Structure 1
Amino acid sequence: MAWIYILECSDGSYYVGSTRDMERRLWQHQRGEGAVYTRSRLPVRLAFAHQCESPAEAFWLEKRIQKWSRAKREALIRGDFDALPALAKKPSRRK
């Protein structure tokens, strides 16, 4: 088992990560021992967490969610799953 999570940082930004031990990883982030990104944005709070079947699945979701817009991440945090397809980035059309 593994986890995908989103932290809300003190500056209002979001950090997306994955871990096998959610409790320990959150503790590390809150103590400034987590990712470099969150160290300078303390305190952080857990905004979203989802348990996955495997570390590979959690890592795949982490990389996918990292590419999402802020609005799409916030819909996920709110649990507004119906809004997610409409918030997907549209591919740009080249002429």
Structure 2
Amino acid sequence: MTQRVDAPSEKPPGGDVKPWYVYLVRAANGSLYCGISDDPQRRFLKHQKGQGARYFKTSPAQALVYMEQWPDKGEALRQERLVKKLRKSAKEALVAAYAATGG
């Protein structure tokens, strides 16, 4: 899992910041869905149950294939926008690199 540590995080008063994740889920048709969550495992289970993203109505979620940790929701949203703009081949390269590191 990639962890961004050099980005400043904004701490809410009286509490720690919970990390957020950009994640990719492989659908049954082979496509990749990109999203963010503070708990990607829980979100993936919701995707598998058909809850949440309409994306999986036509092709069910099969596997959580990539996660990247960010210090806060804002950073995760920025990274999600960048990942969504990537070509499929670049997203597949992220998945392959993540798998190679034991992700």
State the TM-score, normalizing by the size of structure 1: 0.78
Unaligned runs of 5+ in 2: 1-18, 99-103
Q: Which has the higher contact order (CA 8 A, sep 6+)?
A: 2
Give the deviation of 1:45 after TM superposition. 0.9
**How is 1:1-95 mapped onto 2 (pairs within 5 angstroms)?**
1-79=19-97
Q: Would you say the 8 A contact 2:24–2:67 is kept in 1?
A: yes
Conserved 8 A contact 2:25-2:61: no
Cα distance in 1 between the residues matched to 2:30 and 2:45: 19
Q: Percent identity, aligned pairs only?
A: 29
Structure 1: 5+ residue stretches without partners? 81-95
The offset of 1:51, in angstroms, is: 1.2
C-alpha change, 1:26 and 1:74, in structure 2 (3 Å) is same
Q: How many residues of Structure 1 are paired with residues of Structure 2 in the alignment? A: 80
**Inter-partner Cα distance in structure 1 for 2:79 and 2:21:** 10
Distance 2:61 2:36 in 1: 19
What RMSD in Å do the two structures reach over aligned CA positions?
A: 1.3
- 2:29 corresponds to which letter in structure 1? D
Cα distance in 2 for residues equivalent to 1:22 and 1:54: 14
TM-score (norm 2): 0.72
